Amino acid sequence: MKIGIIGAGAAGLAAAFDLSAKGHKVVVYESAPFIGGQASTIPVGGSPLERGYHHLFTNDKAILDLMADLGVEEAMKWYPSRVGTYTSGKVYKTTTALDLLRFGAIPFLDRIKLGLFALKVGRIKDWRGLEDQTADYWLRERLGGKAYEKVWAPLLKGKFGDFYDQIGMPWFWSKIQTRFASRQGIRGREMLGYPDGSFDTIFSKLKKVIESRDGEIHISTPVVKIEVVDGVPKALLARGADGQHIREEFDTILSTVPSFSFPDLVDLPDDYKKRLTDVHYLAAVVVVLELDRPLTDFYWMNIADPDVPFLGLIEHTNMLPKEWYSGKNILYLTNYLDRTDPLYKMSKDDLLELYLPHLSKFNTEFDRSWITKVHYNALSAAQPIIGTNYSKVIANHRTPLKKLYLANTTQIYPEDRGTNYSFKMGRELAATILYDEKDNWQNWK
Ligand SMILES: Cc1cc2nc3c(=O)[nH]c(=O)nc-3n(C[C@H](O)[C@H](O)[C@H](O)COP(=O)(O)OP(=O)(O)OC[C@H]3O[C@@H](n4cnc5c(N)ncnc54)[C@H](O)[C@@H]3O)c2cc1C
């Protein structure tokens, strides 16, 4: 079989890896001038660093399996993280369950309630019974009080903006499951994973193996159309790096592009198209500062204060060695925004002017002279908004067009999107394609 894959992110390359292992010819087209998609890297101080902060949780098993299959499992290392929460004008340590008991921003009884509530959600095994309610409603009704008002409400609003009250409860459930898995007892810190050499260790090895099996990966080559003949996709039309028109025929096609751009590539029946376009995505805007000293002691800072114009402050080198980056301290300032939000369109310099005055809230001594370099990244399809009863409207990986498949982050459910799940989905799609071929494409009868 000859398989055309659109997108060289985690899903596309994982599928290419498994399909090429079975002797099939894979050709991957990627619009960006790099591989890795949302988990891609830039060089910082001599080492690759993710455009947007990345780490793994201990229950991210699929990525570990893939690393083992690639022979790079030794690269995965686990680090204790330090978590803080900024609220009511103060930074609180919220790393362990014990820290939460000491979390002075809310009354003592609410702290107990907060801990017991997380335990209760952690014990729920089946998310299906939660599907018809929003996280906001569920939390307000069952937790409520200061614990909701000061902790979860600002985080939901910070992460999902105006959509905060539409997020289905399974999102919250899966977050709690993941965080519990990564914590070690009441005193234990959360352990987070990060590969030596960054996530690029995985992507570079995937590329190397795929190419060694005669697979092709073409960067800076956006697919502009999927050509359909008699209802069956036949070829990909792409624009090459030097502007040339490419037309290549395939036996089957896997697209990993976001749901909002898939209908631009191919005509789809209304019902399926609606399933795609009904899912709203938030974009991410990430400013990465290289500093000559640390800003805080924390790796991850939740910001539960609407006056701070960014949602998260992630100090990468408070978990990972700064020696990797020529001694620089790496600080991410991140926001999830609607693509129509003025902040999404702001220049790097304007964003800095908006953000920097707030850094002294986290360290009163902060001075702009600490910054040695600034990087800026915007990602348009960073976070899908998954509402209630999503299992009933989720788009099938097998599209209505025979031999055309779709695998993107809106199809990860009930878990929140993440590299682990995209790698897993890519591999599952490879298995589905192989199954369908063996079955002589009966699934589209
Ligand atoms: C700020 C941020 C922080 C994150 N932090 C974490 C984290 O800590 N841990 C974690 O596990 N995950 C994290 N994630 C999520 C993770 O990066 C993604 O879920 C995962 O990388 C998605 O992989 P994917 O292959 O499904 O999609 P993508 O990475 O989006 O890949 C799709 C690819 O398709 C390409 N493409 C689109 N249109 C076309 C076209 N027409 N032609 C050719 N190519 C096209 C895109 O350029 C892209 O490379 C984070 C994401 C963001 C944005």
**Distance of CA 283 to CAs 6, 33, 107, 371, Å?**
20, 20, 35, 25
Closest residue CA from atom 36 of ligand 1: 7
Three-state DSSP state, 362: coil
pLDDT of residue 427: 98
pLDDT of residue 198: 98
Percent of the chain clearing pLDDT 70 (strictly above): 98
State the distance from the centre of ligand 1 to the C-alpha of 77, rounded, in angstroms: 22
Query: Rounded to an integer, what is the distance from CA 167 to the centroid of its chain?
Result: 16
Closest residue CA from atom 31 of ligand 1: 9
Q: Which has the higher per-residue pLDDT, 443 or 12?
A: 12
Round to whole Å and give the CA distance between 31 and 223.
Answer: 7
pLDDT of residue 183: 65
Closest residue CA from atom 37 of ligand 1: 257
Domains and CATH numbers, the chain: 2-49+198-279+393-444 (3.50.50.60), 97-177 (no CATH), 280-385 (3.90.660.20)
pLDDT of residue 314: 97
**Is the C-beta atom of 379 inside 6 A of ligand 1?**
yes
**Is the C-beta atom of 415 inside 6 A of ligand 1?**
no
Three-state DSSP state, 2: strand
Strand pairing class (216-218; 25-29): parallel
Round to whole Å and give the CA distance between 362 and 141.
Answer: 32
pLDDT of residue 186: 52
Handedness of CA 121, 126, 131, 133 (dihedral sign): negative
pLDDT of residue 206: 98
**Environment class of residue 63 by beta-carbon count within 10 Å: exposed (0-12), middle (13-18) or buried (19+)?**
buried
State the distance from the centre of ligand 1 to the C-alpha of 315, rounded, in angstroms: 21
Give the mean pLDDT of 137-149. 89
Residue 185 has pLDDT above 60, yes or no: no
pLDDT of residue 351: 96
Q: Cα torsion at 428, 429, 434, 438 (round to 10°)?
A: 100
Q: Where are the alpha helices (DSSP H) in 193-316?
A: 200-212, 262-265, 270-277
State the distance from the centre of ligand 1 to the C-alpha of 4, rounded, in angstroms: 18
Q: Which has the higher per-residue pLDDT, 424 or 149?
A: 424
Residue 180 has pLDDT above 70, yes or no: no
Residue 445 has pLDDT above 80, yes or no: no
> Model confidence at 162, in pLDDT bands (50, 70, 90)?
confident
**Is the C-beta atom of 198 inside 6 A of ligand 1?**
no
Q: Where are the alpha helices (DSSP H) in 71-166?
A: 97-101, 108-123, 135-142, 145-146, 153-160
Among the listed residues 242, 273, 243, the one whose alpha carbon sits nearest the alpha carbon of residue 259 = 273
> Model confidence at 156, in pLDDT bands (50, 70, 90)?
confident
pLDDT of residue 38: 97
**Is the C-beta atom of 7 inside 6 A of ligand 1?**
yes
Q: Per-residue pLDDT tens for 59-114?
A: 899 999 999 999 999 999 999 999 999 988 999 998 887 888 888 888 999 888 88
pLDDT of residue 187: 58
Among the listed residues 292, 298, 303, 290, the one whose alpha carbon sits nearest the alpha carbon of residue 315 = 298
**Is the C-beta atom of 55 inside 6 A of ligand 1?**
yes
Q: Which has the higher per-residue pLDDT, 146 or 430?
A: 430
Q: Per-residue pLDDT tens for 252-289?
A: 999 999 999 999 999 999 999 999 999 999 999 999 99
**Distance of CA 428 to CAs 25, 63, 252, 434, Å?**
18, 13, 15, 10
Q: Per-residue pLDDT tens for 19-30?
A: 999 999 999 999
Q: What does pLDDT average to over the chain?
A: 93
Give the mean pLDDT of 290-297. 97
Among the listed residues 357, 370, 369, the one whose alpha carbon sits nearest the alpha carbon of residue 310 = 357
Q: Per-residue pLDDT tens for 187-241?
A: 567 899 999 999 999 999 999 999 999 999 999 999 999 999 999 999 999 999 8
> b vs e for 408-428, b when ≥16 Cβ sit within 10 Å of the residue's Cβ?
bbbbbbbbbbbbbbbbbbbbb
Residue 413 has pLDDT above 60, yes or no: yes
Q: Per-residue pLDDT tens for 302-345?
A: 898 889 999 899 999 999 999 999 999 999 999 999 989 999 99
pLDDT of residue 277: 97
State the distance from the centre of ligand 1 to the C-alpha of 186, rounded, in angstroms: 34
> Model confidence at 43, in pLDDT bands (50, 70, 90)?
very high
State the distance from the centre of ligand 1 to the C-alpha of 333, rounded, in angstroms: 19
User: Angle formed by the axes of helices 200-212 and 61-70, to 10°?
Assistant: 50
| CA angle, 400 then 269 then 170, to 5° | 70
